[in-house]
Structure 1
Amino acid sequence: MGDMKTSLQGKLAIVTGGAGGMGRSHALRLAELGANVAIIDIDLKVAARYGETLSAASVRDEILNLGRDSIAIEADLSDRKAAFDAVHQIERHFGRIDILVNNAGGAITPIGSSSASMASEEDRNTLFAANFHTAVNMCQACVPALIKEGGVIVNISTVGVCLDDAAARFAMYSASKAAVEKYTRSLAVELGPKQVRVNCIAPGLIATPRVASQAAARNLATGGQADAIPLRRLGQASDITGVVEFLVSDLASYVTGECIRVSGGLQLQTRT
């Protein structure tokens, strides 16, 4: 087995939504493993907005301080042209793309009106744009370069695809992520013969700075909810990053079209 500390040496990873939270965790870990990292985010100042403490002025600077090259692009990836333009800029700078981590997205509409029976057309469109269209645009933009390198795609879903809270408050968000999971499987079938692997991760309740700032108002990812998780704790960004590391490494060289639930066993619980 090769040295994991340099297992991605010379490779280029793109992390969407990489300017803070889980995306930042993924970007820094990939850089620690030797990769150069391109960050694309709709808001490059998102870390400061949610009070996240960085070790440098930006995530890009943190990556540079690790001795890796990095660029950061602010773009709305639900816009197909913006996604393709960002990818072309990255290719011009680095000359290759080996890894795509589609982390951008989230449950960004008011959850009090996001249930299956109440969600407005506007909120539905917003959620599918942020979660599904963004992922598809980036996959399609990166596929030609990934085929050249025999690359890897990791999409991010949610454990909410296979369970709901009592009020089904995340119905449309979860539906958009269910679409991501199906797209992941189809893309894996299509790109497998070209030696490109495509997998998905479905996080549970992860205590990112953004989630923590909204926890009380949304009654989401609170200490009380941790008691209902078999592992009896909320997830941390590093819990998801560890699975990203596995999926982009040679340890997962025969894994494609899968969705790995990373929820502490949350989906195993019987709701009453």
Structure 2
Amino acid sequence: MMTQPRFDGKVVIVTGAAGGMGLGYALHLAKLGADVGIFDKDLDAGKRNSEYDADSVADAIKALGRRVVAVQADLSNRAEAQSAVEKVARELGPIDTIVNNAGGAITPADRSYATNSPDDDIELLIKVNFLSAVYCCQAAVPLMTTPGGAIVNIITFGAFAGDSHGKYAVYSAAKAALLTYTRHLAVELGPVGIRANCIAPGLIHTPRVAAAAAARGMGTNDQTSGIPLRRFGKVDDMVGAVEFLGSDMSAYITGECIRVTGGLGLISL
């Protein structure tokens, strides 16, 4: 019988870890034994959404008996990303896994089309969804365990199939760029034993998504008809893929992307 992979003694970084999927990844890996570096632009975001009972994300991880370093930083700023990664390595040790989860379709949906996205939105989406991961990868690689290090970059199903109305064009394009960047990382870092892979979530209901669902037309009930499993994803549906790609279970997998979508895109409507 296969035993559950453990992260005992491992050092893991999760970006965008104050709430939503990032919080789920951080807590799940801590439960598996990891010491965790958590980065977010707003470390109190999850607390405001009542996503945990502790006073802070850091306290929630400490309650699991793990060490934690929490850094509030704008990761789209290279210097801040570099400083945050170095702080984790200095306080917790060499980095075994980094999960670049920070990002999102954070600009107004009504101006997210390919033909009407303004310059400010384009710049913000590229910085938050692409450059933040690039900066964290570049900072982390020299401080990672070799061999055995793992990079897990979170993209979106939108990198493969667009919204039915053409919305979120630049967001999806930025995540598609991250997918290509990840494949190049895999080629470059394979010889030293560091793997790089992606996960593409589908329609995952987080508190932030739920709050914005009506305004953005996301997560509406009629959308489940296009999902073979006939439901939206939950944060708990995502954590297994992160565990797999971040652990030795996937020791011979690199340059790949796992779609966690419930089969979204398999049905032609």
**TM-score (norm: length of structure 2):** 0.97
* Superimposed CA distance per residue, residues 139-159 of structure 1 (whole angstroms, 9 cap, x where no aligned partner): 000001115453100000100
Match of 2:8 in 1: 9
Shift of 1:227: 2.5
SS of residue paired to 1:227: helix
Task: Check the 8 A contact 1:14/1:101 in 2, yes or no.
Answer: yes
Deviations 1:105-164 (A, max 9, x none): 000000110110111111010000000000000000000111545310000010011112
Pairs within 5 Å for 1:10-25: 10-25=9-24
Query: What is the CA deviation profile of residues 58-90 of structure 1, one whole-angstrom value per residue up to 9, with x for unaligned ones?
Result: 121111000000111000000000000111111
Aligned partners of 2:14 and 2:37 also within 8 Å: yes
- 1:103-118 residue pairs with structure 2 within 5 A? 103-118=101-116
Counterpart check, 1:73 vs 2:67: no
What residue is the counterpart of 2:100 in the other structure? 102
Q: Is the 8 A contact 1:100 1:152 kept in 2?
A: yes
The reply on whether 1:157 has 2:155 as its aligned counterpart is: yes
Aligned to 2:231, the other structure's residue is in SS state coil
For structure 1, list consecutive stretches of 5 or more residues without a partner in the other structure: none
Contact 2:13 2:95 survives alignment (8 Å):
yes
In structure 1, the residue corresponding to 2:129 is in which secondary structure? helix
Equivalent AA in structure 2 for residue 161 of structure 1: A
Instruction: Give the SS at the match of 2:38.
Output: strand
Match of 2:177 in 1: 179
**1:240 maps to which residue?**
238
Calculate the TM-score normalised by the size of structure 1. Answer: 0.96
Match of 1:221 among 206, 219, 222: 219
In 1, distance between residues paired with 2:147 and 2:38? 19
Matched, 1:37 2:36: yes
Which residue of the other structure, out of 177, 186, 190, is the alignment partner of 1:188?
186
What displacement does 1:96 show? 1.4
CA distance in 2, matches of 1:34, 1:40: 19
- Note if contact 2:14-2:101 (Cα within 8 Å) is conserved in structure 1: yes
Aligned residues: 269
* Other structure's SS at 2:166 match: coil
Which residue identity is paired with 1:8?
F
Unaligned residue ranges in structure 2 (runs of 5+): none
Alpha-carbon distance, 1:98 to partner? 0.6
Tell me by how many angstroms 1:270 deviates: 1.8
Over the aligned positions, Cα root-mean-square deviation in angstroms equals 1.3
d(CA) in 1 for partners of 2:50, 2:172: 26
Measure, in 2, the Cα distance between the counterparts of 1:245 and 1:39: 16
Could you tell me how far 1:269 is from its partner in structure 2?
A: 2.3
Runs of 4+ in 1 over 2 A off after TM superposition: 1-5, 147-150
Residue 146 of structure 1: aligned partner: 144
Deviation (angstroms), 1:3: 4.3
The answer as to whether partners of 2:94 and 2:145 remain within 8 angstroms in 1 is no
The 5-angstrom pairing of residues 125-144 of structure 1 reads 125-144=123-142
Task: Summarize the Cα distance change of 1:31–1:117 in structure 2 as closer, same or farther, 3 Å threshold.
Answer: same
Paired with 1:229 and 1:60, the residues of 2 have a C-alpha distance of: 35
Q: Say if 1:229 and 1:269, in contact at 8 Å, map to a contact too.
A: yes
CA distance in 1 between partners of 2:181 and 2:154 (Å):
12
Contact 2:125-2:174 at 8 Å conserved across structures: yes
Question: Secondary structure of 2:69's partner?
Answer: strand
CA distance in 2, matches of 1:230, 1:148: 40
